[in-house]
Chain A
């Protein structure tokens, strides 16, 4: 009797967990409204050939970077906005991925640049 109860409980648990999991992963969920979205447009940057505009390596907007990444290089030198790549070891990201339905909840991407 006890074992039957346990098995029944396990089966019920499975069904509930699967249902909860499917609700937690809505692929077609509406886009989230981020009240603290950062304004991006730089009104000073305009005109010129769209295909030939310079990608100047000015001081970066730190709030746009995942934590652990380096700032941009004022010299314009280097090919990766700063010191990323000097350490080729895996750099765990502290920022959580957006809730866009592609990532598992709480996912934290890891990046390695060699």
Chain B
């Protein structure tokens, strides 16, 4: 019995910190049929004071067009170092983008908000088209977009 308790304490000491650190989060964005070319999307986070905290993903690979993602561009001054390793293709009308990332648990229930800026060729820019608080209760809730994004949700 004593040996069992000792081993249980050792295994708990090794596993609990890892569980508490982070978890996978999946962001699902479905585009509406807006009748245009591929949309550029910038996913970024602001803290409880509204200050830019970091970028999560950039859909769209041509940096010269990032200025149309005006919320992100204003916060980062267009610094592409912010999106090193987290850049992918733009997303076409009617398509769905699913991004799975390993995020720190401290982002949730702490006042952080996820913003998604969107822009489409020859159409109006749509900064902060999606703004959702990162909370435990918010996981699974579907949020409607205002222009190019049909809906968005995240899951933990």
Residues of A within 8 A of B (CB): 3, 6-7, 9-11, 13-14, 17-18, 20-21, 24-25, 27, 32, 34, 37-38, 40-42, 45, 50-58, 60-61, 64-66, 69-70, 72, 78-82, 84-85, 90, 93, 95-98, 100-104, 107-114
Contact = CB atoms under 8 A, between A and B. Distances in A.
A88 to B, nearest CB: 9
Interface in B54-100: 54-57, 60-68, 78-93, 95-100
A50 B125 CA distance: 9
Contacts of B60: 81
A51 B67 CA distance: 10
Interface of B: 2-3, 5-7, 9-10, 12-14, 16-17, 20-22, 36-40, 45, 53-57, 60-68, 78-93, 95-104, 106-107, 119-122, 124-125
Dominant SS at the B interface?
A: mixed
A114 to B, nearest CB: 5
5 contacts: A17-B17, A20-B17, A81-B90, A112-B98, A113-B98
A79 B80 contact: no
A18 to B, nearest CB: 5
Dominant SS at the A interface?
A: loop
B92 A109 contact: no
Given A55-B120, A55-B122, A95-B85, A102 B107 contact: yes
Contact of B61 (A17, A20, A37, A61): A61
B9 A11 contact: yes
B68 A55 contact: yes
A53 B107 CA distance: 35
Given A64-B80, A113-B96, A100 B55 contact: yes
